Amino acid sequence: MPKKKAEETLNLDAILFKCRDILRAARNSGSFFEKRDMMLTLVFLRFIGEKFEDGIENLRNELVKQGLDPDDPDIKAAFLDDPTFTDGTYNLLPEARWSTIINTAAPNLNVALDTALSSIAANDSQLKGCFVKGTFTTRNLAPNDIKKLVDEVNKISHKTFGEEKDLIGRVYEYFLKEFAVNATKEEGEYYTPHDVVELIATMIEPFDGTLYDPCCGSGGMFIQSAELVKAKRGDISRINVYGQEKEPATYRLAKMNLALRGISHHLGDEADSSFTHDLHKGLYFNYIMANPPFNLKGWFNDNLKGDPRWTDYETPPESNANYAWILHILSHLKPLDGVAGFLLANGALGDSDTLAIRKKLIENDKVEAIIILPRELFITTDISVTLWVLNQNKKGGDYHGRALRNREHEILFMDLRTWTENPVKGENKKKVRLDADQIKRAADIYHTWQAEGTDGTHYEVPELYRSVGMTEIERNGWSLIPSKYIEFIDHDLEIDFPAEMQRIQAEMRDVIAQEKQSQKMLEDAFRGIGYGID
């Protein structure tokens, strides 16, 4: 009896894998970046088209509730032919709708796709600069190839994979990984996992005001923060996001991603470096969240000598941008109460060539918390990373309804490297994630340390966290390496060595006895059949 064919399940990675193979096999599909641009643009058209269709369906239902017939020509002309949406949904002209694209004949698809992009860009200023002119007609994929690609993308739906997910970011991450971009190098690109963003946002609570990311990538920080704001406060209009991105393709992706979510944003009119062309110069923000490229080289030029961002400290070393990012972030924090959470490679905690800057940051009481994260959180790099929290106000007061104590001249150190009990299955490399309970626990440790009534001089749990005063940090040469301050127990000292040796010796005696018995049984067996044993 033949086995039943396993039921196929819709899987995002499987769809993207098939798209990748279609593009790899297709003629004229271009470089990795051109392939990625095509895929991400297709996904954008799919998502924005689906939101439009959902918006129309909601309008039809609302008309029915009001006793109106949505199919009546007059009602249709008044409400549905040129609809107005209040939830950030874009009103797409017929040529830009996914229903038009999916029903276009294969030989006409490249032209139809570029026509849709032109229509969207022409009708919304927030999407200006999102698309490369002639994205599809320039490459001009064969009709069969572009049709197969569109049909696969048609399977990707927020209804299937979850409205709450950063799906465009997830597609972006997939193509970073599967097209083998070397993201461990300074020119590489990173996608910050959802759980890491959630940890940062849960700790610093960017619930209102302005949020800035100087290297915003695909906009994932903003999207996940907006989700947290909606969960906590319910109104993402209370947060206004600002960002900058150097890579043109990623800049366009961020604009698409934020536009889809209806998130008000200011990413500047172009893609450019935060160091050499700061698009938000002179602006100060309530919150900053960032995941800068680790250990970036080649960031410096002569125009940055004496730059105001580091005149109060020192010029960061040209060989590594880690402290340039720190000082850039600090320069944009609101002077009285700005808070920043950002990721850096662990080397920044104790580099000798940045000692003078680090010392002054600590003396000026800018550093509030240092949290080492588990090693395998990222797909695109396995480098060990640290979450830094800077705070312009460690004096205490009210913060989002919490009464904070004076934490001046204290820094909270946390070491989460052992939080690796949640492996992620189905990845090509080892990966772990932080679950909701772990994120809450880490945030609770930080918030309790901040709270009135906590004694910072005795706030510690061995091997996990400890509050440390400036005098001790000075004694340790202004190092911010948590293992210099958190107590680590030598578990070998807990072993009863005489008893352990007795146990091992007893086990060895048992093994030897069993081997002798087996040898005797073998000899007896051979003798029983007439063979001697020499």
pLDDT at 17 over 90: no
Cα 121 to Cα 254: distance, rounded to the nearest angstrom: 15
369's tokens: 């918390």
pLDDT at 405 over 70: yes
pLDDT at 493 over 60: no
pLDDT at 163 over 70: no
In contact, 69 and 75? CB cutoff 8 Å: yes
Provide mean pLDDT across the span 107-114.
96
pLDDT 10s digits, 429-470: 678 899 999 999 999 999 999 999 999 999 999 999 999 999
For the CA atoms of 218, 224, 225, 230, what is the dihedral angle to 10 degrees? 130
Which pLDDT value is given to residue 485? 96
468's tokens: 């440390």
Helix, strand or coil for residue 366?
coil
Helix, strand or coil for residue 337?
coil
Cα 170 to Cα 176: distance, rounded to the nearest angstrom: 10
Q: Which helix (H) or strand (E) holds 370?
A: strand 367-372
Closest CA to 411 of 485, 351, 340: 485
Which pLDDT value is given to residue 406? 97
Helices (H), 213-262: 220-232, 248-261
- pTM, whole model, 2 decimals? 0.80
pLDDT at 187 over 50: no
Cα 120 to Cα 129: distance, rounded to the nearest angstrom: 11
pLDDT 10s digits, 471-485: 999 999 999 999 999
pLDDT 10s digits, 214-245: 999 888 888 888 878 777 766 677 788 999 99
Count of Cβ atoms closer than 10 Å to residue 21 Cβ: 13
Banded pLDDT at 165 (limits 50, 70, 90): low
287's tokens: 């919150």
Banded pLDDT at 3 (limits 50, 70, 90): very low
Q: 4: which residues sit within 8 A by CB, 6+ positions away?
A: none
Which pLDDT value is given to residue 190? 60
Which pLDDT value is given to residue 162? 61
Question: Which neighbouring-strand residues pair with 266?
Answer: 242
Q: Quick one: what percent of the chain has pLDDT higher than 90?
A: 49
Closest CA to 270 of 119, 128, 168: 128
As a 3-state breakdown, the chain gives helix, strand, coil percent values, each rounded to 5, of 45, 10, 40
Cα 255 to Cα 126: distance, rounded to the nearest angstrom: 8
Segment of 14-23, 254-263, 516-525 carrying the highest mean pLDDT: 14-23
503's tokens: 């146990």
Count of Cβ atoms closer than 10 Å to residue 39 Cβ: 23
pLDDT 10s digits, 269-311: 889 999 999 999 999 999 999 999 888 998 999 999 999 999 9
